[in-house]
Homo-oligomer: A and B are copies of this chain.
Amino acid sequence: MKNAMTESSAAEFLQRYDAAHYEKPSFTVDLVIFTVRNEQLHVLLVKRAEHPFKGGWALPGGFLDPRRDDSVDACAVRKLVEETGVSAPYLEQLKTYGSRDRDPRGWIATTVYFALMVSDAVRLGGNQAAACWAPVRGDGVAFSLAFDHTPILADAVERLRSKLEYTHIAVHLLPEEFTLPELQRTYEIILQQPLDKSSFRRRVMQADMLEELTGRQRDGSGRPAQLYRFREYDRLTFFPRSISRHAR
């Protein structure tokens, strides 16, 4: 685009670049994978097979490999598949944490993603490591985690609750077909407060995001519930107003 001289000096610069490169921090990607089972929010943890924190529980993740991973997002997807066998749930970048002290191996930055999935869909331990679903109480799990994973998990839980207030993401915690009472229960479990049935239904129906599966119902111990499917799995839609504030 520019003249020949600029082009050649750019080429020279790039050639010399390797020699002059900055000292680099290490770079990892970690995952906070949420699911709801047994009426409780759970997070996926793995037992560390190596030092540091060998034998301790941690968020799944690991080093980004510039040869295999085309991008940070691709690395997150790769680790998600390795860990759960699931390829396309809801996956969103949370935040990047990096400092000199957070890992005894040195200056390491980690980009953390959070994922939502249906617990049945997951096949644990594909990565050879011991893994478990740990119930989330308050803003974390009952036991301590490796590295700075406890505050990271707390951030993820806060983000999840906050996004639940004004978006539809909870549908990603349910199978493709679900009922309105199931969806409401999911919100209640994560927000930790009961919601009014009629207000909840009004809100969801007005958002016009659900498609009624005509004639399909789910049986239970009472009247069968109508099944629905989420209309646009990719687009994230917003409620004009937060969902709790005035719970019942």
Query: Which residues of A approach B to under 8 Å, CB–CB?
Result: 6, 9-10, 13-14, 17, 21-27, 50-52, 54, 63-67, 70-72, 74, 93, 95-101, 104-107, 109, 111, 166, 238, 240-242, 245
Instruction: Contact check, B107 vs A109: say whether CB atoms are below 8 A apart.
Output: no
A-B CB contact pairs (8 Å), 6 listed: A13-B51, A22-B65, A24-B27, A70-B100, A71-B98, A240-B241
Known: A72-B98, A238-B242. 11 other contacts (CB 8 A): A9-B51, A10-B51, A10-B52, A14-B51, A17-B105, A23-B67, A24-B66, A64-B109, A71-B98, A72-B97, A166-B242
Instruction: Contact check, B97 vs A96: say whether CB atoms are below 8 A apart.
Output: no
B contact residues around A52 at 8 Å (CB): 10, 13-14
CB within 8 Å for A242 and B245 given contacts A52-B10, A99-B71: no
Instruction: Contact check, A95 vs B98: say whether CB atoms are below 8 A apart.
Output: no
Report the Cα distance A23→B69, complex, angstroms: 12
B contact residues around A67 at 8 Å (CB): 23
B contact residues around A99 at 8 Å (CB): 70-72, 74
